[in-house]
Structure 1
Amino acid sequence: MKNMINTVAQEITHVLSSVDETQALLLSKKMNKSKRIFVSGEGRSGLMGKALAMRLMHGGFEVYVVGETITPNIENNDLLIAISGSGSTASLLQFATQAKEVGADVFLVTTNSDSKIAAISDGILVVPAATKKRRPEEPKTIQPLGNQFDQSVHLLLDAILIYTIQKGADTGSKYEEMTQRHSNLE
């Protein structure tokens, strides 16, 4: 078991150390300057998006998850963060297209910088991890499906948000304020 745990940790460390820091910094900058942030993804990428949305809310950002009943319309000066390993998820391509039409920025978190969504995005964050597609350029992994991508996205987006908050996001993100925003209906 210990060997399995260490192998997974090494895989994730390798993926995260291979991320282009310029792309991560651009996402941080876009999160900071956006009026509101919308997060979208399908399946497990959607779950990673919801985790990011919760952390953004704790950090004082105005954030919504696409598809929830309380999500308002996206507008100019808003940011859509789309999470898609393939970068070609049909529903996310539709959302990205609609967001661009109203003047919102689109930022794609993906493994595929040559994808349809990447082509219309204002920024991309390439996560060089294995997905369920197992394209030839993806790294080898002992993990099934898109586990390596999901885990890497979760940790990477957490790190970017922590960086954004520590570098002075004007969101009221001191630990005590973040704690006050944490759900008390649990």
Structure 2
Amino acid sequence: MRKIIDEVSKEITQVLQRVDERQAVQLSEQIRSSKRIFISGEGRSGLMGKAIAMRLMHGGFEVYVTGETITPSISEGDLLIAISGSGSTGSIVQFSKKAKEAGAKVFLVTTNPDAELTKITDGVLIIPAATKKRRAEEPKTIQPLGNQFDQSVHLLLDAVIIHALDDSYEKMTERHANME
């Protein structure tokens, strides 16, 4: 077991070290300057997106997750953070196109710099991790399916949010759920 834990940790560290810091800073600045933030992802990427939405809410940002019953319409001044390892997930492409039509900005978090979706987005954060597709340029991994991408998304977007925060620990704690 120790060998597996150490290898997973090593893999994630290697992925995060290869991230283009300028792309991460650009996303952080988009978060800061947006009126509202919408997060979209499918499967485990969607679960990582919900975790990121929660942290953004703790940070005082107005944030929504696509597909939820309370999610309002997106509009000009808003930001959609689209999470898709392949950059071609059907629903994510559709949400991104709708967001652009509404005048919102779209920022794609993906492994694929050549994804068609990159042509319509306002920014791209490339996470050089393995996905379930196992394209030739993806790193080797002992992990199944898209684990390496999803774990990297969570850690990297947490770092992006930390960079975007203005609030203190105390203010964030005040926003934390209190009906637990």
TMscore range, shorter length:
over 0.9
1:60 matched to 2:49: no
Aligned match for 2:170, one of 170, 176, 180: 176
- Superposition deviation, residue 184 in structure 1: 1.2
Partner of 1:77: 77
Runs of 4+ in 1 over 2 A off after TM superposition: none
Residues 12-53 of structure 1 show CA distances to partners (whole Å, capped at 9, x for unaligned) of 000000000010010000000000000000000000000000
Q: TM-score under structure 1 normalisation?
A: 0.95
Q: Classify the secondary structure of the residue corresponding to 2:82.
A: strand
Alignment of 1:104-183 (within 5 A): 104-165=104-165, 169=166, 173-183=167-177
Q: Classify the secondary structure of the residue corresponding to 1:151.
A: helix
Residues 117-158 of structure 1 show CA distances to partners (whole Å, capped at 9, x for unaligned) of 111100000000000000000000000000000000000000
Q: TM-score under structure 2 normalisation?
A: 0.99
Q: Classify the secondary structure of the residue corresponding to 1:68.
A: coil
Equivalent residue letter for 2:142: I
- Alpha-carbon separation, structure 1, partners of 2:175 and 2:40: 22
Partner of 1:29: 29
Instruction: Supply the RMSD in Å over aligned alpha carbons.
Output: 0.6
Q: Classify the secondary structure of the residue corresponding to 2:15.
A: helix
- Superposition deviation, residue 113 in structure 1: 1.2
Q: How many residues get paired? A: 180
Q: Classify the secondary structure of the residue corresponding to 1:137.
A: coil
Partner of 1:185: 179
